[in-house]
Amino acid sequence: MIDHLKQMAIFARVVDEGSFRAAAKDVGLSPPRISETVSELENYLGVTLLHRTTRKIALTNEGKMFYARVVDMLRSAEAGLNELNAMSLEPVGALRVSIPAFLSGGPLTSAIVSFTKLHPNVAFSVTYTDNTLDMLEDGYDMNIRVGWLDDSSMMSRKLADGERVLVAGTEYMNERSTPKRPKDLEEWNWIRYLNRADTTEFTGPTGRVEKVTGTAQLEVDSIDALYHMATQNAGVTILPSFLAERGIAPGQLKAILPDWKLRPLGIYAVWPDKSRRESLTLLFVRYLADQNLC
């Protein structure tokens, strides 16, 4: 039985990843060796677990039943490792995390580096993307989300409020009259972020609220592109404060209407209710919560 535990774990990884090649990359073996391992398991059991084609794999009826049992076994083993890990002085393990691409050069990435220096036996696989990912389908232990959460099926913790700044290129600003209120920006060229609403709400120093839609000649799905286009004097846009400061400090960008506030975006850590690496995930989440991520 013990000899076949590794085969069972590899079989489950093939199913999770959807192919022998993806499973091989994940566990660090060659695709032929992964295929051979599953075949050895099938020979031992005397049943076919997977239907194989040139492009994909599919579970047989026996494979579906066996996979469910193997997953339960692996989860129990992971839970045991998590409990021991929580008791140990030095955490050990690996975390797969996704983070919005625009945070790649910000304090969150710095926090990951500092965490690995504190805990040299913890490894990270980090995906930077502004696209929405399915945590369970894509196999992530934790995602960082920016905005306002609407998924109650996950565990979450708010890490910070991401302040936002309205900016434009210095040359672009110098060519126009200084605005006194948000409505004065209606006719300006806007650089729009596709993942946010077209209408922007501002709150003035007296609590007065104004909404601006503006005309967007440029629409992009990348915050880094917003920054670059703004420094090229293409129009007005909204940036995270740390990115805005990067352009304001050397004089490439100017803040617009600093007395009018934009609603901050929450920065959240989100993870499954039954995480495979619960203790390690929670340790990392608590560490992030203690950092200055704004």
Map 219-244 to HEC letters: EECCHHHHHHHHHCCCCEEEEEHHHH
- The band of 222, judged by pLDDT with boundaries at 50, 70 and 90, is confident
Q: How confident is the model at residue 19 (pLDDT cuts 50, 70, 90)?
A: confident
- Give the per-residue pLDDT at 91: 82
Residue 294's pLDDT is what? 63
Residue 134 has a CB neighbour count (10 Å cut-off) of 9
For 212, phi then psi, to 5°, come to -130, 130
The domain 164-263 having CATH identifier 3.30.70.260: the answer here is: no
CATH 1.10.260.40 matches 2-86: no
So where are the chain's domains?
2-86, 93-162+266-289, 164-263
Q: Residue 49: is its pLDDT beyond 60?
A: yes
pLDDT at residue 108 greater than cutoff 70: yes
- To which H or E segment does residue 12 belong? helix 5-17
- What is the Cα–Cα distance from 292 to 294, expressed in whole angstroms? 6
> Tokens 């420094």 identify what position?
231
Q: Which residues pair with 124 in a beta bridge?
A: 95
> According to the model, what pLDDT value does residue 149 have?
67
The pLDDT of residue 245 is: 92
- Residues 5, 158: Cα–Cα separation, whole Å: 39
Q: State the pLDDT confidence band at 230, using cuts at 50, 70 and 90.
A: very high
Give the rounded percent of residues in the chain with a pLDDT score beyond 90.
Answer: 40
Return the CATH fold of 93-162+266-289.
Answer: D-Maltodextrin-Binding Protein; domain 2 (3.40.190)
Distances (CA, A) of 28 to 24, 41, 57: 6, 19, 20
Q: Which two tokens stand for residue 221?
A: 């799905």
Chain position carrying tokens 């997977």: 50
Q: Give the tens place of pLDDT for each residue, 180-218.
A: 999 999 889 999 998 788 888 999 999 999 999 888 889
Determine the residue type at 139: G
pLDDT single digits (tens) 252-289: 999 999 999 998 888 899 888 766 677 788 889 989 98
| pLDDT, average across residues 101-114 | 88
Instruction: State which of 13-27, 39-53, 241-255 shows the largest mean pLDDT.
Output: 241-255
Classify strands 50-52 and 215-220 as parallel, antiparallel or unpaired. unpaired
Q: What is the pLDDT of residue 124?
A: 93
pLDDT in tens, 140-183: 888 998 876 665 667 888 888 888 999 999 999 999 999 999 99
Strand ordering across the sheet containing 122-128 = 122-128, 93-99, 142-147, 265-271, 155-162
Residue 150 pLDDT: 63
∠ CA 231-129-10, rounded to 5°: 160
74-99 pLDDT, tens digit each: 877 776 766 665 555 678 888 999 99
**Fold equal for 93-162+266-289 and 164-263:** yes
E strands within the chain? Answer: 50-52, 57-59, 93-99, 122-128, 142-147, 155-162, 164-169, 189-193, 200-203, 209-212, 215-220, 236-240, 253-255, 261-262, 265-271
On average, the pLDDT of the chain sits at 86
- pLDDT tens profile 68-78: 888 888 877 77
